[in-house]
Structure 1
Amino acid sequence: MTRRRSRGKQPQSYRFGEEYSFLDEDGSGASGTQTPNLREDAQDDGDDFMPDAHEEEPNDDLDDDLEGDVIEDEDDEEAEENFDEDDEVPDPRSARHISATDIEFVQEPSTPTHSRGKSNIPGDTVSPITPRRRRGSRARIVDGEKLRSRGVADFSKIGGQEIRLKDLFGPSNEDLIPIFSTRDHWIKQETLPLKEPGGLRRSFFEYPGVRDKEIKALRTWYKDDGRAAFATQQEIRILSAGDGKPYMNTAGLKSLNVLVGPVDTPQVVSLEKGSRINIAEPFKESKCRQGWLFNLGARIQEAQWAPNEDSSTQYLAIAVEQLPPGRQPKPLEQPQAPAFTPTKPYPASIQIWSFEATDDGGLDTSQEPGLQLVICTDWGAPKQFRWSPLEATDAELSKDGDSVHVGFLAGIWSDGRVRVLDIWIPKSSVKPTDPLYLHYSRAAFDVALPHTVPSCLHWLSAASLSVGTAAGTLAIWTLSRPETFASKAASDPNPRPWFCMQLADTYILTIASAWPSLPQYMSISVADGFSRIFDLRSPRLDTAASIRGRTLCLTQAWHEQTQSFTMPDEHYILKHNTIRRYYHNLYSMRSESPITRVATSPVHPGVLIGGAEGNVEASNPVGRITNYKTVPWQQKWFVHEWRRPVDELMVKPAATGEDVEMVGSGPVAEPPGATTANATAPAAPGVTSNKVPQSVLSQPLVRITEGYKATQPGIQHSIVSKKPTNPETGKGITVFEEQSAITALAWNPNLKYGTWAVAGMGSGLLRVEDIGV
């Protein structure tokens, strides 16, 4: 029964028992006095603001009912008389031009509404939407609160691609020109970024001069006040190599066997902890591969590029999973939830690696990458960190004497505190091959949130830092404010945030900001399944929620080129939630496993997704967002697979102690250091050996495959699975090895080096490569 045919019939309560009978909407229950009564007519339905699904469908059977339903109340008639059609009405759907004071009232459009069946194509300006009941009367204001619109109610029923773009990005030419320029400029980029002239550039949505103005303000503050504040508050001392080694201890294996190279002739390479190889070595044609593969010993917790536009040296901050010393309790043995409670302090570190670039912006593999700095702390393990998106020093000040300024690094440590470190790399006491160990015993910005622990953080601008908590609160600090840096002798060393509000009822998982084009908007994903967008100018009123997901959203990124927040959903699909239609999902990529990481770039529209299966895929979603009939292209950067020792497998391929034949006819190189007792006997002349040595079978093995072609997998296949199911057991769920997952993913944000990407894996491997084509 449709909503219109159900009018006039009172729904009964779904609750059972006489004790809940007063909830039945018969007009006699006590529930009518608990909330404001918006209905003076018994024919009103219970949802005045929901759009009618059948409103645009002509139905001759309902004509008589509709004629009798349009009855306006006396209050509505008075409101209509007082309404002035000449008043200038701001467009509540245009998020780029509206402020918090512009949408206090939602008024009626001055132009008459088109009747059903006639053309309803808007022009350059779109009339604002007034919430109406389905009977035709205006919805009245309750308790003096102003009605607010959360954006465009629905896509226009009549019109083509132009009308759809106006619904997504705005009705005026100022809103549409940037997206048209973005589409036409990167129309040749299907998946991986292009190295041709103009392939890398800033977003068309950025206003001219805004970035330069923000950089100037940041550098002026840092030169006048900021550098002295950090130097006074931070306590740093240099450690010797022997004293710094305990801060880099991990629980991983001393070496790891990696199967790399062509599929028909793979090679097994034994990577010691802390070592690296050039990814082009196992291949005959090495000119098209520029990158490095590291073995850091344990799960890669985080990897982020530092902003450095003016130098050919690029810095990468890496955090490896480090556990407290002693026996680690099993999950059910822990008396408290580790996600909601801080840990005791213990030694840990963050590594700063440097990579050299060529003159054309490529990754220079002729020069070895170097571990420049090890940030040693006793604050527990670093769980998450982010660099400030802009450089606080210019080219002259950044190389002050023998020191190089890297930037501001904000992080969350497992002791439950948020800190911001000012990173300088002194070179006077550093040898070219040895790293420098700097111990930070105190940070200039050190905050502990009361009654909860921080769960995520994100820079809203070059100097403003936002922190989400396990209790659902959000706090924002700005470094340039005078009250941010408290003195050592202050009674309360915690600087108070200028913004602190309860934005969710439970754990905030991720935060993303629409900086640089729309810095006032921010998005959070919550453990209740919803993602929410807020306007910081009016966070309680200007907010909207996305479609509820059935899984936790553990990663989120702002895609500047489509003005949308990208995040995964439960169908292993990457969805885009635009500013004007945040509550509507636009899908662009799909994966065959849960998406664990998403990375976007500010200098090109390429998106990287990493899955629990170990695959990293790239795509350009601009064509899909601007024209939803477009089937997007996807291309795998590489696939990472980890397997445990053969003896620990649930299904063993052969009896223990026997050699196992590989699938394929290519030879496998013996890893360095293997003894002759473990090696297989030499093959006869003219015969290729395809036996796997026992030394490889008894240890964990990682296989990395690459060289995949671009494909168009589509979107629908992931939702409606075509895999056969067993009616007795139901649908199967694939469980992947934890070490196979992609745990860190990031693009280089600097303009000249935007084709560089980094991917960290659960096995402890880290891949840094220039993947531009």
Structure 2
Amino acid sequence: MPARRSTRLGGTRTKYTNDPFAAAGLSEDSDEEKSPKKKGKSKVEYEDDLSFSDEEFAAPQEDEEEQESAGNASEDEEEEPPESLMELDGSDEREVDAKSKPRRSRGIRQPLTVDGKIMVDDGFMHSRGMFNPQAHTGKNLNLQVNFGTDERDQLAMIYTRDRWFRGIDSIFPTRDSLNEVESFPTYGYGLTFGSDPEEVKRERTHGWDWYYDADIGGRFRKRQRLERVEEDEVRQIYMPQSMGRHTVLIGPVDNQTVIELEQNEAFNFGEAWEERNSRKMDTNASKKAPKAKQTSTQNRKVREGWIINFGHKIQAMEWAPNQPGLTQYLAVVAPISEEQKRNRTAPLEGKVAPAFRPSAPYPCTLQIWAFRAQKEDSLTKTMDMRFKPRLRLALCTDWGDLRCFAWCPMGRDTREEDEEDVQRNIGLLAGVWGDGVLRVIDVKMPRGADATEYYKVESPVFAAKPPSTLCTCLTWLSPSDIAVGCADGFVAIWNIAHSEISTPTPIPYFYHRVHATYILSVASAHPTHPHLLATVSMDGETRLTSIINPQTDVAEASRMRVTSPQINFSPILQSFVSGEENDFVRLLVIRRFFSSFAISRLPSALSTQAPSSPWHPTVLAGSTSGAVIATNPTRKLIHSKAKQMQQAWFTHEWVPGKEAGSSGVSRFLDGFRIEKAGLLRNLAGETRLVNNRVVITIYEEGTHITSLAWNPNQHCAGWASAGMGCGLVRVEDVAV
């Protein structure tokens, strides 16, 4: 039987490579002795220096003169490495000594400074690895990824956890939790959200020195010119014309009360609940209790609040901050109807898309309504239902529709100049009008007068517009700095205090392109990180940009196919709250901005959300179906596997009126249970499936929730307001 021969080829196996360094004989293995590999498992040994990212940047010193000068140093003096030789990634655990550890630069030579520090160009791109928050990591590591390792940030989150982690605060804030802010330990940084308390105090006091300065502030206030106008002229031209009475159905679902509201009329909807509750108490009391106790139970009310009819869609709405008194002011914008705009033509009409060209100079009115709180011993005040809301100030303009506005949210301590002034200082209000210009108005009103004041704004205290584009959105960075998003994707920042009044168009000190197209919303991470700006563009991109270095310090979130133009910063949660392409509300933590997670789900598409309150973490989101959903994402933020709960504040439905002279019929439903939020992004258990396809319902424009707002003042932190597409505004104290 012939012997069996091996079929293996003899000699050295031919090796093919695409590595140009290996082909040139510069591979790392060529200088090292090859050791035979052992089979089986072996312990992996790492080098002492674990700074892999630093090896790529370190370079040997090849200049002979520098080596000679380094060798001529005196032997009796020990050389200490400079502080600038710390790791490039910002950590201080290990130092890089380029002289003692020369490494191969692999064809890239980095210049060195005199002290041995690697000279990095401003445009040099670098990246650092970080943990994947979606991987199976421990709780401690997950918290470090979310909130960092700085003591200030961790103490701020511990304060948030201890105050708002309880189950009773899982939806709306409770009055007990709001009142305990004075007795609860702050851990040093709890009330300042991780910022230095001295810096926050300095911003509240010295940050407003420019406004009270006789030179800078005097010239700033003289720019504004107001002209008094008659009430009849305002209601005929600057306010939407009345379309008739608005019918409202509200109260218990089995016995709702019908209300007829005229334009600019307010109604206490607590009366609809009080009648039913009194009748129910009378029935129960007559069977089980004596008659003496019946009268005490009749005054008990289930819900209290106001409904105001503005006659047209609510475009924007926000409470005035820095109001420590009992009177609170709500600014509302309801643009005029399309019938009132027919006789005016816009420039470049038919040549440029409406979103990218200035509108016609349509008349518009900013209405400021007054509400009052009750005198109580507790810190948190309830609404005084004996004081009927009234219009206190109307500011008329001819610059187009007021698309968006924002009060300056920075705190301001009251000074003697405010008390000596004849007029009451409400605050600085910045807005973007239809002509694409940013304007700032110094809002004041007479003291001690209850009559409504009507003024036309001829000239604001500040006005600016970038060249060849329009302003689309805005946010405040400080008491004197405003950031604006533009239609061409740029972000501009102006300082309203030091702008030259002689210049017709003030020049921004920051003007950088952040997106490739229209910016829908911009938000600042004030006060913790005021240099960070989050922007949402029309192409679905959401980005976090640092104005210190906008070219390299940029983070992007997952792109949305259907853009949701809603984003704001919650300082309590150290996160941005934004919408998602479907019907989810997502949370974008600053340190893991690239990876978001859902915190709530709405019954329809997201239409608006309330700016986050500085006194509690509850998030309010409105939908196109008329539902307003509330949730507290603190538990979900700290423990990712925790169940997220949510609750409907109310739902609103609107249908056109059949009778002549009617502006429609609205119905409110209240008393919803707390439910578990379904945050799964698959079709399993989907309730809107028709023939295995998700159905999207198109609702009437009057049903939409168009604006939401929290009261930013501490003693009225539980007050919330909601504006509808039919022109109704609902104001209620939702603190439990």
TM-score bin, normalised by smaller chain: 0.7 to 0.9
Please tell me whether the aligned partners of residues 365 and 394 of structure 2 are also in contact (alpha carbons under 8 angstroms): yes
| Number of the residue aligned with 1:749 | 712
Instruction: Find 2:327's aligned residue among 313, 333, 349.
Output: 313
Mapping 1:351-370, distance limit 5 Å: 351-360=367-376, 361-370=381-390
Instruction: Find 2:357's aligned residue among 318, 341, 359.
Output: 341
Please tell me whether the aligned partners of residues 441 and 462 of structure 2 are also in contact (alpha carbons under 8 angstroms): yes
Matched, 1:519 2:530: yes
How far residue 501 of structure 1 moved from its aligned partner, in angstroms, is 1.1
How far residue 499 of structure 1 moved from its aligned partner, in angstroms, is 0.9
Please tell me whether the aligned partners of residues 335 and 365 of structure 2 are also in contact (alpha carbons under 8 angstroms): no
Alpha-carbon distance in structure 1 between the residues aligned to 2:681 and 2:57: 54
Alpha-carbon distance in structure 2 between the residues aligned to 1:259 and 1:283: 12
Q: Secondary structure at the match of 1:339?
A: helix
| Number of the residue aligned with 2:224 | 234
| Number of the residue aligned with 2:724 | 761
Instruction: Find 1:212's aligned residue among 176, 201, 204.
Output: 201
Alpha-carbon distance in structure 1 between the residues aligned to 2:318 and 2:247: 26
How far residue 421 of structure 1 moved from its aligned partner, in angstroms, is 0.7
How far residue 401 of structure 1 moved from its aligned partner, in angstroms, is 4.7
Q: Which one has a larger percent helix, Structure 1 or Structure 2?
A: 2
Matched, 1:449 2:463: no
Question: Identity over aligned residues, as a percent?
Answer: 31
Instruction: Find 1:264's aligned residue among 239, 246, 254.
Output: 254
Instruction: Find 1:587's aligned residue among 598, 601, 608.
Output: 598
| Number of the residue aligned with 1:416 | 436
Alpha-carbon distance in structure 2 between the residues aligned to 1:39 and 1:296: 73
Unpaired stretches in structure 1, ≥5 consecutive residues: 1-9, 11-25, 28-37, 43-59, 64-72, 91-101, 112-126, 129-136, 647-694
Name whichever of 532-541 and 729-738 sits farther off. Answer: 729-738
Paired letter, 1:452 = T
| Number of the residue aligned with 1:116 | none
Alpha-carbon distance in structure 1 between the residues aligned to 2:344 and 2:461: 34
Please tell me whether the aligned partners of residues 141 and 147 of structure 1 are also in contact (alpha carbons under 8 angstroms): no
Instruction: Find 1:535's aligned residue among 531, 538, 546.
Output: 546
Alpha-carbon distance in structure 1 between the residues aligned to 2:262 and 2:674: 33
Matched, 1:479 2:496: yes
Matched, 1:616 2:628: yes
Q: Secondary structure at the match of 1:587?
A: strand
Alpha-carbon distance in structure 2 between the residues aligned to 1:523 and 1:441: 33
Q: Say if 1:158 and 1:348 are closer, same or farther in 2 by CA, change over 3 A.
A: closer
| Number of the residue aligned with 2:48 | none
How far residue 326 of structure 1 moved from its aligned partner, in angstroms, is 4.5
Q: Secondary structure at the match of 1:196?
A: helix
Alpha-carbon distance in structure 1 between the residues aligned to 2:382 and 2:310: 24
How far residue 416 of structure 1 moved from its aligned partner, in angstroms, is 1.9
Instruction: Find 1:635's aligned residue among 633, 647, 658.
Output: 647
Matched, 1:705 2:669: yes
Give the TM-score normalised by the residue count of structure 2. 0.77
Mapping 1:499-510, distance limit 5 Å: 499-510=510-521
Alpha-carbon distance in structure 1 between the residues aligned to 2:402 and 2:57: 62
Alpha-carbon distance in structure 2 between the residues aligned to 1:396 and 1:78: 58
How far residue 327 of structure 1 moved from its aligned partner, in angstroms, is 3.0
| Number of the residue aligned with 1:723 | 687
Matched, 1:245 2:235: yes
Matched, 1:302 2:302: no
How far residue 709 of structure 1 moved from its aligned partner, in angstroms, is 1.8
Q: Say if 1:512 and 1:235 are closer, same or farther in 2 by CA, change over 3 A.
A: same
Alpha-carbon distance in structure 2 between the residues aligned to 1:586 and 1:138: 41
| Number of the residue aligned with 1:603 | 615
Alpha-carbon distance in structure 2 between the residues aligned to 1:377 and 1:41: 73
Matched, 1:552 2:563: yes
Please tell me whether the aligned partners of residues 590 and 718 of structure 1 are also in contact (alpha carbons under 8 angstroms): no
Please tell me whether the aligned partners of residues 194 and 200 of structure 1 are also in contact (alpha carbons under 8 angstroms): no
Q: Deviations over 1:49-107 (max 9, x none)?
A: xxxxxxxxxxx9999xxxxxxxxx9x97994878x9988799xxxxxxxxxxx99x348
Q: Secondary structure at the match of 2:368?
A: strand
Mapping 1:687-706, distance limit 5 Å: 700-706=664-670
Matched, 1:327 2:350: no
Alpha-carbon distance in structure 1 between the residues aligned to 2:244 and 2:21: 76
Paired letter, 1:622 = T
Q: Deviations over 1:182-230 (max 9, x none)?
A: 1111122111012115557535423212221012123322111454223
| Number of the residue aligned with 2:146 | 168
Q: Secondary structure at the match of 1:708?
A: coil
How far residue 370 of structure 1 moved from its aligned partner, in angstroms, is 1.7
| Number of the residue aligned with 1:31 | none
Alpha-carbon distance in structure 2 between the residues aligned to 1:108 and 1:211: 27
How far residue 397 of structure 1 moved from its aligned partner, in angstroms, is 3.4
Q: Say if 1:738 and 1:198 are closer, same or farther in 2 by CA, change over 3 A.
A: closer
Unpaired stretches in structure 2, ≥5 consecutive residues: 1-15, 24-38, 43-51, 62-78, 97-104, 111-119, 182-190, 278-299
How far residue 139 of structure 1 moved from its aligned partner, in angstroms, is 12
How far residue 330 of structure 1 moved from its aligned partner, in angstroms, is 13
Give the TM-score normalised by the residue count of structure 1. 0.73
How far residue 542 of structure 1 moved from its aligned partner, in angstroms, is 0.7
Q: Deviations over 1:618-638 (max 9, x none)?
A: 111011011001111111111
Paired letter, 1:461 = S
Paired letter, 1:562 = L
Paired letter, 2:209 = T
| Number of the residue aligned with 1:376 | 396
Q: Say if 1:620 and 1:156 are closer, same or farther in 2 by CA, change over 3 A.
A: closer
| Number of the residue aligned with 1:53 | none
